[in-house]
Copies of this chain bind each other. A is one copy, B any other.
Amino acid sequence: MVDGHLSPSITTATPGRRQRRASQIRERLFRAALDLFAQHGFADTTVEDITNAADVGKGTFFNYFPSKDHILLAFAEMQLVKLQSIIENLRDTRDPFPQFFRTLAVRMTEEPGRNPSIVRTLLLANLSSTPVREGMRINQARGHKLVSEFVQIGQDRGELRNDLPAGDIAQVFRQMVFGTLLVWSLYGDDSLATRIRTALDVLWQGISPRGGPAPLVTDAQQETQHGS
C-alpha cells in the first residue's frame, strides 16, 4: 500500500508524474491522520479533520483509504515493508547477526517511537475494534512469517540457537518489542531507546548459541560474573 512512494515505478513521464502526485497526497493524508490521532485520539478525529489538515477536499480521502481504520492498517503495512527491506538486506551480506538484530528492533520501533500517542492509538484500535483486530491479524501473521525467516537465516548461519523452532524465537522477539512499546507508551517518556537496548541485550544472550545448558554457578563463583 505504501510502497508506491517508497519505490515509484516510473514507466512513462505522465503516469509517473501522476503516480508520484497520488503517492504524495496519500502520504500527506497518512501523516496528517497520524498527527491528529496523536493529538486528539483516534475516535475524536474525523475524516474532515484529516482532509483539512492535509489541505485536500473531503471526498479525496476515500480515493486513498476506504475508511479511517485503513490509516492504521497502512501504518502496519508500512512497518511490514520496512521489515521486508531489512530482511532483504540481510540476505546479501555477511555482517554479524547481532548487528542486524539491533537494526531490526531499532528500525521497527523508530516510527511508532515518534509519539507514544500513536502507539496507544494503534493498540486502542486493535483492542477495541474487531474489524481493525481482524485486519491487523493478517498483518501480524505476515510480520511473524518475516521475522521467522530472519531468525531462520541466523540459525542457518549458526549465529542463533538452534534448539528452538525459528517461529518460537520470532514470537518471543515480537512479544518483547510489543511489550516494550506498550510499557513505554503508558509512560510516554524518552526511555524507549534505552528500553529496547536493554531488552536486546538480554534477548541476544537468550537466543545466541551456546555449547550446553546454562551453568548454575555457586555464590563463590558469583564474584567473577561481572562484565560478561
Contacts and interface: CB of A to CB of B under 8 A. Distances in A.
A136 B186 contact: yes
A137 to B, nearest CB: 7
A154 B171 CA distance: 26
Interface stretch (A22-30, A50-58, A61-69, A199-207): A199-207
A162 interface: yes
Contact of A225 (B158, B199, B214): B158
Contacts of A208: 214-216
Contacts of A85: none
Given A162-B225, A163-B225, A205-B210, A198 B182 contact: no
A169 to B, nearest CB: 7
A125 B169 CA distance: 30
Stoichiometry (number of copies): 2
Nearest to A225: B162
Nearest to A172: B202
Contact of A202 (B177, B207, B210): B207
Contacts of A171: 183, 195, 198
Nearest to A120: B127
A209 B228 contact: yes
9 contacts: A123-B127, A158-B218, A158-B222, A161-B228, A171-B198, A172-B199, A203-B206, A210-B215, A211-B228
The 3 A-B pairs of least Cβ separation, nearest first, read A179-B179, A206-B206, A158-B222
